[in-house]
Amino acid sequence: GAGVSQSPSNKVTEKGKDVELRCDPISGHTALYWYRQSLGQGLEFLIYFQGNSAPDKSGLPSDRFSAERTGGSVSTLTIQRTQQEDSAVYLCASGAGFTDTQYFGPGTRLTVL
Amino acid sequence: AQKVTQAQTEISVVEKEDVTLDCVYETRDTTYYLFWYKQPPSGELVFLIRRNSFDEQNEISGRYSWNFQKSTSSFNFTITASQVVDSAVYFCALSLRGNAGKSTFGDGTTLTVKP
DSSP SS3 for A60: coil
Whether residue B101 and residue A103 make contact (CB cut-off 8 A), yes or no, is: no
- Interchain CB contact of A46 with B (< 8 Å): no
How close A103 comes to chain B (CA, Å)? 7
From B8, B52, B9, select the one nearest B32 (Cα to Cα): B52
pLDDT digits (tens, 9 = 90+) for A71-96: 879 999 999 999 999 999 999 999 88
pLDDT of res. B100:
54
- Interchain CB contact of B83 with A (< 8 Å): no
Nearest chain A residue to B9, by CA? A40
DSSP SS3 for A46: strand
The mean of the pLDDT values for chain A is 91
> Which residues have a Cβ under 8 Å from the Cβ of A43 and sit 6 or more positions away?
A35, A36, A37, A91, B45, B91, B93, B103, B105
Q: DSSP state, A102?
A: P
How close A87 comes to chain B (CA, Å)? 16
> Which residues have a Cβ under 8 Å from the Cβ of A54 and sit 6 or more positions away?
none
Candidates B99, B104, B107, B110: best to mutate against A (most CBs of A within 10 A) is B99
Cβ–Cβ under 8 Å, residues A68 and A60:
no
Measured in whole angstroms, the distance separating CA A55 from the mean position of its chain's CA atoms is 13
Whether residue B98 and residue A100 make contact (CB cut-off 8 A), yes or no, is: no
pLDDT digits (tens, 9 = 90+) for B10-46: 999 999 999 999 999 999 988 888 999 999 988 788 8
pLDDT of res. B45:
87
Q: Which residues of B touch A98 (CB under 8 A)?
A: 98-101
DSSP string, B2-28: -EEE---SEEEEETT--EEE--EEE-S
Cβ–Cβ under 8 Å, residues B23 and B5:
yes
pLDDT digits (tens, 9 = 90+) for A12-24: 999 999 999 999 9
pLDDT of res. B101:
63
Instruction: Specify the higher pLDDT residue, B115 or A70.
Output: B115
Phi/psi-derived region of residue B70, left when phi > 0, alpha when psi is between -120 and 50, beta in every other case? alpha
DSSP SS3 for A71: helix
